[in-house]
Structure 1
Amino acid sequence: MTHTCSTSTAEVSDGPDYRLFLRTWAAQPLRVAAIAPSGAALARLITREIDPQDAPVLELGPGTGVFTRALIERGLDPADLTLVEFGAEFAALLRARFPEARVLHADAARIMPGALFPDATAGAAISGLGLLSMRPRTVFAILSNAFACLRPGANLYQFTYGPRCPVPRPILDRLGLKAIRIGGTFRNLPPASVYRISRRAPRRAVPLTPGHSILTDGLSDDQGARP
């Protein structure tokens, strides 16, 4: 599934990116998150915690590449970006716009993390995928693949138009993840929020009485968003 961002209202209504986006949505409405691109404010929000030291970075569903452009504006080298895009037209556009980046025409639910990042070396991931319209097993596969690419301590950033985290709590629990809302923007049509998804702290044994113990998640009160 694809989602893209634009830089101005004029570009949303009149630009070639919008026309490509709308044409793709009309052909595959279940694979494109919305009928119109999102705004630049969302691109800045979803990339604001990512810096050059987080390279390499994985981007899922980059669409026309405005999240990609925002990453480059933050100092990321295009050569350190891996873009996974299912739409053939979007993938071709991304190759033309970011020739130094690694662009893969592929389904994010079917990528092979060991081939993309053999040592799980990615320092961050951004998802422009419309998870709310996907089956739970597809969401599970996408997140499982993404975190298999990420080194310890790395985060995935996901936007949503909904009022809560787009990843169901059972999926977060099964994958050992937590989701925290880091902000939202009304300068977007429709308004959007961004969640930081990360691995939970490892479980640890807590002694009760001699010879007995329980396992605890080792989480603080900040345990993540409940869908």
Structure 2
Amino acid sequence: MTFPGADCVRFLRQWLASPRTVGALAPSGGALSALITSGVAADSGPVLELGPGTGVFTRALIDRGVREEDLTLIEYGPAFVAMLEARFPRARVLQLDAARIGRDRLLAPATYGAVISGLPLLNFPLRKTMAILEGAFGLLKPNGAYYQFTYGLGCPVPLRLLDHLGLKARRVGGALSNLPPASVYRISSRHRRTALLPGA
């Protein structure tokens, strides 16, 4: 999967403007896009994508048979929002902080079959990561899963947070040819989740 050089320039500009929210110098490559979407199929139901950026994962989802109108894209950066709206006119694109998806009542609970996350969780405070996961799992169907990539050596969600939220994580695989190399984790519910921990 290739994207025009202008995408890389735009991505670099966004990273320079806000490195903690963009988290990478360039869009993800084809190997990572294929890996993070490998568990999603045409019959997975609506898909929620967090931090789609230039839309590389979005395009991979459509290539896997997910209908464009079944995609909801949550993007914080206004430049990326405009690009996504132009490239995927039948998708629902919302300019929103992903930490608010469980609070803004813009999305219906238990609607989505999968969440694909391009968010740089390692750059976020623990409380923000917790809000993102709480919101995402409130929007997922009971058997839905959350797919997260990371440039780190392990799961970007700490084990104590997974345990607190009643979640489990499994490494799907690695994309060594990505720049930089990345891994993908599938996060799913283990049992009924508990209330938020004060001061986490």
Q: CA deviation at 1:57?
A: 0.5
Matches within 5 A, 1:58-69: 58-69=48-59
Q: TM-score, normalised by structure 1?
A: 0.81
User: What's 2:116 paired with?
Assistant: 126
Return the alpha-carbon distance in structure 1 between the equivalents of residues 53 and 113 of structure 2: 21
Distance 2:192 2:8 in 1: 44
* 1:93 corresponds to 2:80: no
State the distance in 1 between where 2:103 and 2:88 align.
Answer: 22
Match of 2:198 in 1: none
Contact 2:115–2:147, Cα closer than 8 Å, also in 1 = yes
TM-score by length of 2: 0.92
Task: Tell me the residue number matched to 1:40.
Answer: 30
1:110 counterpart residue number? 100
Matched, 1:74 2:64: yes
8 Å Cα contact 1:113/1:148 also seen in 2: no
Structure number with larger C-alpha Rg: 1
Letter in 2 for 1:55: G
Matches of 2:126 and 2:45, distance apart in 1: 29
- Please state how far the C-alpha of 1:112 moved relative to its aligned partner: 3.7
1:30 — aligned with what?
20
The residue type equivalent to 2:111 in the other structure is T
Q: Is the 8 A contact 2:42 2:64 kept in 1?
A: yes
Secondary structure of 1:83's partner?
A: strand
2:179 to 189, 202, 220: 189
CA RMSD of aligned residues (A): 1.6
Residue pair 1:127, 1:157 contacting (<8 A) in 2 also:
yes
State the distance in 1 between where 2:104 and 2:17 align.
32
The offset of 1:158, in angstroms, is 0.2
Kindly tell me: are residues 114 and 19 of structure 1, through their superposed partners in 2, closer, same or farther at Cα, counting changes over 3 Å?
Answer: closer
2:146 to 133, 145, 156: 156
What is the aligned residue count?
A: 193
Q: Deviations over 1:16-48 (max 9, x none)?
A: 110100001111111111112221110000001
Structure 2, unmatched stretches of 5+, are 194-200
Aligned equivalent of 1:54: 44
* Alignment counterpart, residue 17 of structure 1, candidates 7, 30, 34: 7
Distance in structure 2 (CA, Å) of the matches to 1:148 and 1:114: 12
Q: CA deviation at 1:201?
A: 4.0
The alignment status of 1:141 with 2:139, answered yes or no, reads: no
SS in 2 for 1:84: strand
3-state secondary structure, aligned to 1:100: coil
Structure 2 Cα separation of the partners of residues 202 and 135 of structure 1: 24
